[in-house]
Amino acid sequence: MTRRTRNRTAALLAVAAGSVWLTGCGSAPDEAEQTAAKWDTVDPCTLAQDDDLAPLLTQGLTDGEPVQGAGRTECTWGNLEQLNVVTVSLASAPGDDADTLRTVTVAGRTGSVLAESKYQCIVEFDSEDDGTLAIEAKFGLDAVATPDSSCDRVEPLAEQSLSRLAWNA
């Protein structure tokens, strides 16, 4: 069983257990009642699925590789040799005090674009109480064929990740 399969299986079991519990309570909560997840309670490898990654990983989908660090967890997908990589990070606080190039609004939450070119995008979403979500995409050789020089390509992944964290504003 691959790590991706184990992660999905664990996530599905958690959802199923929650559904069974909620069914016993009478009704499922609507999205507004969903509790936001804290940064250190979520496996970042569960925040991106194949459909979210496919438009960004032109060299083929891979299993996510988790990395743990002090005050930060992350998961990386892609082909480092081809410079085609996506990293989703969760942290207790925003990254370094990099200058914000511009802001984007995704799922009702304002994010800071920290790097943006046809080769790379870094966007960060801060939740004062719950932590920080950062998404970094390196487009590598695909940048020549797809010269989209904005972080717009990353927004669908950001929207799904924020939704899975229940960090929608």
Under the banding of pLDDT at 50, 70 and 90, the label for residue 33 is low
pLDDT over 50 at 32, yes or no:
no
Q: 119-132 burial, b if ≥16 CB within 10 A, otherwise e?
A: bbbbbbbbbeebbb
pLDDT band at 29 (very low <50, low <70, confident <90, very high): very low
pLDDT (mean) for 22-28: 36
Between the alpha carbon of residue 90 and those of residues 32, 64, 70, 104, 124, the distances in Å are 22, 14, 11, 18, 10
HEC profile of the chain: CCHHHHHHHHHHHHHHHHHHHHHHHCCCCCHHHCCCCCHHHCCHHHCCCHHHHCCCCCCCCCCCEEEEECCEEEEEEEEHHHCEEEEEEEECCCCCCCCCCEEEEECCEEEEEEEECCCEEEEEEEECCCEEEEEEEECCCHHHHCCCCCHHHHHHHHHHHHHHHCCCC
pLDDT at 69: 79
Give me the chain's average pLDDT, please: 77
pLDDT band per the 50, 70, 90 thresholds, residue 77: very high
pTM for the predicted model, two decimal places: 0.75
Structural contact between residues 74 and 66, judged by C-beta atoms closer than 8 angstroms? yes
Q: What is the pLDDT of residue 5?
A: 40
Q: What pLDDT does residue 57 have?
A: 86
pLDDT above 90 coverage of the chain, percent = 38
**pLDDT one-digit tens code per residue, 107-130:** 999 999 999 988 899 999 998 778
